[in-house]
Every structure is written in C-alpha cells, then in structure tokens.
Structure 1
Amino acid sequence: MDKNLHILNGDSTLNIFKDSGIEGDTFVWKEVLSNGPVDSDFNSEKFWVQRDAFMSNEFDISTGMYDKEVRRPFENLTESLNQYTEITLWFEYDLFCQINMIALIHWLGKTSFQGTASLVCVGDIDDSGKLYALGEISPETYKTVFENRLKLGSREFDYATDVYEVYTSDSPDDLYNYILMPFGEFPYLPNALESHFRRFPSLQTGLTEIEEQFIIFIQAGESDKMKLIGKMLRWQTHQGFGDLQYINILNRMAPIFKDFDKLELPTQIDSQLISRNYFLGGADISAWRWDKNEETLILAESAS
C-alpha cells in the first residue's frame, strides 16, 4: 500500500495543506539555512551543533528548544524514510526556500530512500506575472501543483549537491556558475542566488542591499521601527524573509545611527561601524565584497 510523506516549508503551508485533501503524512522543516553558518556535512553532528548555536542566539531560542523542535524530529524522520513510497518536498521561489530546498534535495539524494522523490516549487502560478507563495494559494490549487510535481532523479540530486557544496564552501563567488548556467528544473534558483550575492557588503557603499533599503526608507521619513519592518517585508521580492530576520539586520546596523531609538541617522554614514563578524553558508562575510558595477563577488583584500 502506498504511503506518502510531504515535507513542508512552514506551519502556514501545513494549515492550508490540511484543507487540500491531499493524502499523506506531513513534516515541517523549521530551519533557516539562508542565514548563518552551514556546514557542508549535512545532518552530521557538526552541522547540528553549529546550527543550534546560531539559531539559539539569532532568534533567542531557549536552551534545548532547537534540539527538541528541529534536530530530533529530523533525525527521527531520517530513520523512518523507507516506510514511504513517495516523499514530496514543498517549497517556494524565494532565497529562504531555495536554500532549504537545495539542502534537502542534496540530503535526500544521499539517503537510502528507495521510493519516489518529488518536488513542488511554486512561484509562477498564473499569467499575472506575480510570484505566489504557498500561503497565498488555495487548497484547491495545492491539488493542481501537486499533480504537476517534478519527479526528482539523479540529475536533480547531483545538481543540488553541487550547489549545496558551493554554498557551504568558503568561495561563494563560485555560485555565479549556477546563475550563468541555470538548470531548468529549478527555475527560481538564479534569482534567489542573485539576492544572496546582494547580501554581501557593496564595494561601492560598504552596505548590503537590505541595509541600503533600510536607509532609503528612514531618509524618506520613516521613524517607527515596526512600520519600517513592514515596509521591508513589502519591499522584498526574492528574499522571502520574516520580520525577525529584518529586525536582526536592523539591530546589527545600530552603531551607524546617531540615535537608534528614534532611527536618526548622521549626515555621513560610516558603514565600517557595522559588524561583519558573521557567516552566510560557508562564507565569511568580512572576506567578501559585492561589486555592483561588475555584478560579482570579490575578495575584500583584493579590493583594498
């Protein structure tokens, strides 16, 4: 008898999925691999310890909560994979989802799973030109996108592994290869990777794209932090971040402000006051700069 598992990208997707009538067990992947350090050895002890430390600090998670809510459920899932005949991953077009998606496809291709693996990745649903998230479509549409799901094979597994290994390496510039040579089965990945590149400090301004947008809104008169975060959420296109991610970025910018509580900026902004002591994937942010003119990452030491 067939038994299906659906690995979902978040609780909001789970709520709509339950109303879709699609059969199968569900598992919600609660990681944020687009942020913080990510070890190349997925699902290893080093991977989990590193992610626990980052997630607990970045999102103020209580001691033991990450282990309980993320690590142990995933390890239990890994042990039970072969009770299923099909596993379907459900993700979206944005950077947040694309990195999680690539990591899980890489992982699934390395497991002993013997059944069918498939992918639902939404974005372009109709002719409107709008990219839709899973939380923006109806339960009935879930049935349609599920019927049109992509069956994953060796080509998809190998490609995902290549991308994951570069993302978790210390040479993020090599990700540009996957923009220049896109893979048709993952049509949203190039734009997501471009958004990733723009998270590195600009060679021209010393600020990331997100930091620059914060400043644009503030200089236009926004002085309320929560309204500012709301504007950032509406501004984003391929980032897919939540409010906590933008709050953390804004807090990291605090040293450049004349008065952070009032969001008052000085006449001259010194981007060097912002700490770059953090990682994205395997990349040390302090070691790289984004050249807007050439649209490429370069080593900071070669730019000085």
Structure 2
Amino acid sequence: MADSIIHILNGDALGEQFPADLPGNTIVFRECLIEGPKNVVAFEEFFESRAAYLSDTYDPSAKEHYSLELSTPLMKMVADIKPSEIILWFEEDLFCQANFWFVCYFLVRFGFNGKVSWAKPSGVARFNFGLLSRKALTAVFKGRLLIDITKIAPLWLAYSSNNSDELIRLVQELSHLSEYIIPAAKAYKDMNTSFIEQSRPYTSLLEITKKLKPSSFGKVFVEFSQKEAVYGFGDIQVKRIFDEIVRGNKGLG
C-alpha cells in the first residue's frame, strides 16, 4: 500500500463533485472544530468527546457514524495503509483551517513521514470549493502545494489552547503559506474574545440584523456569509449568534 494516495476532503459537498478520475481514495473529514472540545491528550478519548459533542449538538446519530466514517479511517490510514501521499483538500476560511491544522497535528503525532500536500482553491474560490468545476478541481490537484506538517501542527496547539496571539505569530513564520492562512488566524483572534458581544462575528451580524431586521434570517445569513466569508460558518453557527442578538436586543424587531 506504500504507493497509495489518500485525499482528505473538507466535506460531503466536495465529495459529491470530486473528480472520479483522480488517483487514490478519499476520506471525508466531517468535523467542525471551530466549536466544541479541542483538548487532545489521547486521540481515542478526543474522538469520543467530539462524537458525543456532535451527537448532542447536531444529530443523535453522529456518535454512531463518527467512528465508522471518520476516526477509524483516519487511524487505519496512519497505522495500516501508510500512503505515499496524503492530499488535504481544505479552503482558507477558519472553519476549514481549524480542521486542516488538526489533521496536520494528527499526522505529526502518529509520525507520518510520507508526502503531504495541500490542494488549495484560490482566487474567488479560496473560501468555497463549490465554485469550481470538476475540471478546475483537477487543476487544483495538479497545482497542490507540498507542505511541512511539522510547521503547521503547532497551529493546532495554539488554536486549541485559545492562544490567538501565538497562532498569528506561528502563521507569520510559515513564509510561503502565511498569506493563505493569516486571514483565518486573524479572524480567530477577532472571535476569541472574553464575551460573545465583543466578537467580530457578533458585532458584524448585529450590524446586518439592524439593517435587514430579524424577521428575515435567510437574508441576514446570506449577507453575513458574503461579508464574513473568512469564517466559513454554516447556517447553524450563524443562527446561534443571531438568536443571541435577538434575545439581547429586544428593540430590533
């Protein structure tokens, strides 16, 4: 299996549009490490805590599927398959970057010494693979960047300990990758505040909600997603903040 290639995809949407003629097998990284438990002591316990969180927060069946579809394939990849190359398909937004940093940390902790590349969308698609055709995704594959995971793994440690200043410092040392990652690191610093009301997502969403009125969450979500694309939040994450805003600002309606 030493000549195999594993593609780790950032979600099901990319999986559905992924070019079938690219060499290798895929693992879909169904996670949202921008929230929930982040402290890794032992991976088995960490994965159990993540499965429990996702099950309690989103889908009761998540706990059952987590091991089968994510943690077990990841462990098998580093313990048994040991591919010659792992290709990480992650965008530049914070949602994707948190997952990207974790995967690099995971690979380092398991001593993976094969080739690791970052298949990164660029330009208007840097936050959204969905804007790309299969032909364009093939071009991303061909233009993938070889990365040193030992330099990226520390980003997870800074992020998971809520040390946004250290995260930014480490990103600035990444030379040719810094420009792609620094927006997400700075967005995290702006989100990592003592109170949610001080955070950039909250203040930005409050401004949008005042303009559009809280009766139309759909329009609020669309505008927030355009204005704050660097966060990569889905509708559930934005709705939580939106509900906090509505509860705390009774005069908005």
**Structure 2 length as normaliser, TM-score?**
0.85
Q: Distance in 2 between matches of 1:31 and 1:212?
A: 26
Q: Alignment partner of 2:87: what SS?
A: strand
Distance change (3 Å), C-alpha of 1:176 and 1:85: closer
Question: Is 1:163–1:178's contact at 8 Å kept on the other side of the alignment?
Answer: yes
* Structural mapping, 1:252-271, within 5 Å: 252-258=244-250, 264=253
The residue that corresponds to 1:18 in the other structure is: 19
- 145, 152, 158: which is aligned to 2:140? 145
Question: Which amino acid in the other structure matches residue 56 of structure 1?
Answer: S
The residue that corresponds to 1:53 in the other structure is: 52
**What displacement does 1:158 show?**
2.0
Q: Distance in 1 between matches of 2:243 and 2:236?
A: 10
Q: Alignment partner of 1:118: what SS?
A: strand
The residue that corresponds to 1:220 in the other structure is: 211
- 160, 169, 172: which is aligned to 1:177? 169
**Could you say what the CA RMSD is over the residues aligned between the two structures, in angstroms?**
2.7
Q: How many pairs does the alignment contain?
A: 250
Question: Which amino acid in the other structure matches residue 152 of structure 2?
Answer: A
Question: Is 2:164–2:188's contact at 8 Å kept on the other side of the alignment?
Answer: no
Q: Alignment partner of 2:100: what SS?
A: helix
> Is structure 2 residue 232 aligned with structure 1 residue 240?
yes
Question: Is 1:123–1:133's contact at 8 Å kept on the other side of the alignment?
Answer: no
**What displacement does 1:182 show?**
4.4
The residue that corresponds to 2:131 in the other structure is: 136
The residue that corresponds to 1:86 in the other structure is: 85
> Is structure 2 residue 30 aligned with structure 1 residue 39?
no
**What displacement does 1:240 show?**
1.2
Question: Is 2:155–2:171's contact at 8 Å kept on the other side of the alignment?
Answer: no
Q: Report the more deviating stretch, 248-257 or 26-35.
A: 248-257
Q: Alignment partner of 2:232: what SS?
A: coil
**What displacement does 1:185 show?**
2.9
Q: Alignment partner of 1:87: what SS?
A: strand
Q: Deviations over 1:73-123 (max 9, x none)?
A: 4334343332x3222111111111111111112222332445322221222
Q: Report the more deviating stretch, 178-187 or 43-52.
A: 178-187
Distance change (3 Å), C-alpha of 1:170 and 1:217: closer
Question: Is 1:9–1:29's contact at 8 Å kept on the other side of the alignment?
Answer: yes
Distance change (3 Å), C-alpha of 1:69 and 1:179: closer
The residue that corresponds to 1:27 in the other structure is: 27
Q: Distance in 1 between matches of 2:203 and 2:175?
A: 31
Q: Deviations over 1:7-46 (max 9, x none)?
A: 1111111122135x212111111111122221134x6133
**What displacement does 1:179 show?**
4.9
Q: Which residues of structure 1 form unaligned runs of 5+?
A: 265-304
Question: Is 2:121–2:128's contact at 8 Å kept on the other side of the alignment?
Answer: yes
> Is structure 2 residue 243 aligned with structure 1 residue 251?
yes
Q: Distance in 2 between matches of 1:24 and 1:70?
A: 17
Q: Alignment partner of 1:6: what SS?
A: strand
Q: Deviations over 1:164-211 (max 9, x none)?
A: 1111225333223135444313531111011111113478x9431111
The residue that corresponds to 1:188 in the other structure is: 180
Distance change (3 Å), C-alpha of 1:86 and 1:70: closer
The residue that corresponds to 2:104 in the other structure is: 105
Q: Specify which structure has the higher proportion of helix.
A: 2
Distance change (3 Å), C-alpha of 1:256 and 1:6: same
- Higher gyration radius (CA): 1
Q: Distance in 1 between matches of 2:229 and 2:133?
A: 21
Distance change (3 Å), C-alpha of 1:71 and 1:254: farther
Question: Which amino acid in the other structure matches residue 92 of structure 1?
Answer: E
